[in-house]
Structure 1
Amino acid sequence: MSKRLTPPALPLALALIGLTPLAAPPAQAQARAQQAFARIDANGDGQISQEEFLALRRQMFAAMDADGNGQLTKAEIESARARQANGRTPRSNQIWKQDSNGDGVLTLSEYTAQTRGFAYADSNSDGVLSQQEFTRIARFLAPAQ
């Protein structure tokens, strides 16, 4: 996969922190990216660690797990995507690559086992996301409606 393509989970992650994948004026998009970065950077050290990224993934999981049973079904995932799609047709197949046992549901451990989004954003592979790395992937985003 080219690093220029946005991973399928990224739009949902960003929607959950107040951003959706829509074009925005550059200054507005940058301001929103900075606000989102500050919300994810729980310890305020100016970097997003892999643990902070995993905390976001856990929040995403909880937001999609409508019945709170610790498993995501196709219906729950599609419902979450429909809520953030703003009239676009969301992609739905990539998330199922995380279903390691092929049982048709995702557990939290399956959902957090892969951190492709983090690796994608960490362009210098130093194990943390800087504001610049985060803004690079968020620069095409606008505030959620």
Structure 2
Amino acid sequence: MNAERAFTSAGAAMVSLALAAGIAGCDRHAAPDGEAAAPPAQTETPSTPSATQAPAVSEGVAAQVAMMDKNGDGSIGADEHAAGAGNMFATMDADHDGTVTAAEMDAAQAAFKGDKRMSSADKIKTIDGNADGTLSREEHEAGSQAMFAKMDADGDGRLTPAEMQAGHDKTMGK
């Protein structure tokens, strides 16, 4: 799958989610006898999120979830995460030599509008087992498995969008 097609599919999924959320939020209860419906009660929203609230999910994480969630349950299992990571590695390995350089990762991150809080070189360093400055498929797979385990905060074997966002925020700095 090429980067443009993957991004377009993710964009379509996000639009579908936005439409579903908009429809679900509609007030379908009309007032009796044609009377004007009362506006919904206003609730006060705290100006700062509490420590127990999940982080807001970024467009990038939402796109990742949409691309990886093959069974459509709204969360990512270890198998879905591994498959998504494998597809990402194949996309990043532009010259098909079995390794990903910082330049290749930069190009893929730009195409997918990836998280830029950490440089590609620094991302590679975090999982580059032999410290050669590139990622092999095996290093990427091992890093992906380790990241999945770290992000699975409740240990249920599935990642929610909020768990993915929290993991990205913790790894790349908020």
Same fold (TM over 0.5): yes
Question: Are the structure 2 counterparts of residues 90 and 47 from structure 1 closer, same or farther at C-alpha, using a change threshold of 3 Å?
Answer: closer
Displacement after TM superposition at 1:91 (Å) = 2.4
Displacement after TM superposition at 1:44 (Å) = 5.1
Larger radius of gyration: 2
Q: 3-state DSSP class of the match of 2:106?
A: helix
Q: Find 2:161's aligned residue among 134, 138, 144.
A: 134
Displacement after TM superposition at 1:18 (Å) = 2.9
Q: Deviation per CA, 1:46-77: give whole Å up to 9, x if none.
A: 65221210111111111111111111112211
Q: Deviation per CA, 1:119-143: give whole Å up to 9, x if none.
A: 34422111123xxx225545xxxxx
Paired residues, what number? 114
- 1:1-145 alignment, distance < 5 Å: 18=10, 27=21, 37=65, 39-43=67-71, 47-85=75-113, 91-92=119-120, 93-114=122-143, 115-129=145-159, 133-135=160-162, 137=164
Distance in 2 between residues matched to 1:112 and 1:99, nearest whole Å = 11
Distance in 2 between residues matched to 1:113 and 1:53, nearest whole Å = 12
Which protein, 1 or 2, shows the higher relative CO under an 8 Å CA cutoff with sep ≥ 6? 1
Question: TM-score scaled by structure 1?
Answer: 0.57
Displacement after TM superposition at 1:90 (Å) = 5.5
Work out the percentage of aligned pairs sharing the same amino acid: 35
- Is the contact made by 1:40 and 1:48 (CA closer than 8 Å) also made in structure 2? yes
